[in-house]
Amino acid sequence: MVLQAETEYGTDPDDDTRRSLLRHMLVARGVDEEARQLQKQGALDLWLSCQGQEAAQVGSALAVGPTATVFPSYREHAVALLRGVTPDELVAQWAGRTFCGWDPRRLRFFPYTLVLAAQTLHGVGYAIGQRLQGRDDLVVVYMGDGATSEGDMSEALNLAAVESASVLFICQNNGWAISKPAGEQMRTSVAERARGFGIESVRVPGQDPETVFSACSRAAAHVRAERAPCLVEIPVGRIHGHSTSDAQEVYRDHEDIARARAADPVTAYAARLGGLGLVDTAWLDAVDAEVRELRERLMKEYV
């Protein structure tokens, strides 16, 4: 793609940001684990794990910054937590208490949309609406690989292109739409498809949060500077089934699951920052304690 050169936007994470990336990934992992636990105990009706996608989510969410308005799909738990959604607010809808547990306006993190791809048009419309009112925020729209097959997704790409809307589309391609492999959902990549509509795009691996952070920083800067849409496609691993109701062993072979587990972005990044001496045992223990406390509070609220 023809995005500005990296240097022009200066987008490498500094050490504080790197620790921040790891901390958010660890928190997300812990909350996700606890939610899975709660679901097993019957306290939640359903949980859609984001495990394996934390680097993509945390890297992109930190990169776009707190002022961007986020239109998530339904699996962006790490983004939600990073944006200030508390764990109990996050799981409230999966416990059947509400359709949205948090304050979407204050957090600029809008409700989950369960009808696939419907939020893509909302995001573009919102961006147009903001611009018409003299506010030109960055709008970030998340979707999965499977959702891109819905007509609304293509319509949103075309609308964003024609209106030159300030929208950053982020597609987390976890390789699966429930049981349908991404390779059977499309012939090309989502990034190539976006270019066909006239939207600049890039495809970056989603295992390392720094790569994601850099790419999304560049993309966000591009959207802000050019006032034009951009799409980032991030291949990620899906460690668990589609949801807690989904037995992925039925359709997914053992090696593929093992590969996703082995490529766990959270443990890999923790090891990496540890190896670099950017975090030490004390730091990790402190985060661990924080996570434990979050999990306990969550458990107390829901069991």
Residues in contact with ligand TPP by CB under 6 A are 75, 114-116, 144-147, 174, 176-178, 242
Span of 53-61, 93-101, 225-233, 268-276 interacting with another protein by CB under 8 A: 93-101
Please say which residue, 65 or 129, places its beta carbon nearer to another protein: 129
Per rule CB under 8 A, is residue 146 in the interface with another protein? yes
Please say which residue, 224 or 240, places its beta carbon nearer to ligand TPP: 240
CA gap 276, 15 in Å, rounded: 11
Please say which residue, 133 or 188, places its beta carbon nearer to its own copies: 188
Please say which residue, 167 or 279, places its beta carbon nearer to its own copies: 167
- What's the min distance (Å) between Cβ of 239 and its own copies? 26
Per rule CB under 8 A, is residue 179 in the interface with its own copies? no
Instruction: State the amino acid at position 34 in one-letter form.
Output: E
- What's the min distance (Å) between Cβ of 224 and another protein? 17
Three-point CA angle 164, 192, 194, nearest 5°: 20
- What's the min distance (Å) between Cβ of 42 and ligand TPP? 22
Partner interacting with residue 254 (select from its own copies, ligand TPP, another protein, none; CB below 5-8 Å by kind) = none
Chain residues that interact with its own copies, rule: CB under 8 A: 149-155, 158, 161-162, 184-188, 192-199
Chain residues that interact with another protein, rule: CB under 8 A: 45-46, 93-100, 103-105, 110-111, 113-116, 118, 120-130, 132-133, 146-147, 149-152, 155-156, 158-159, 162, 177-180, 184-185, 245-246, 250-251
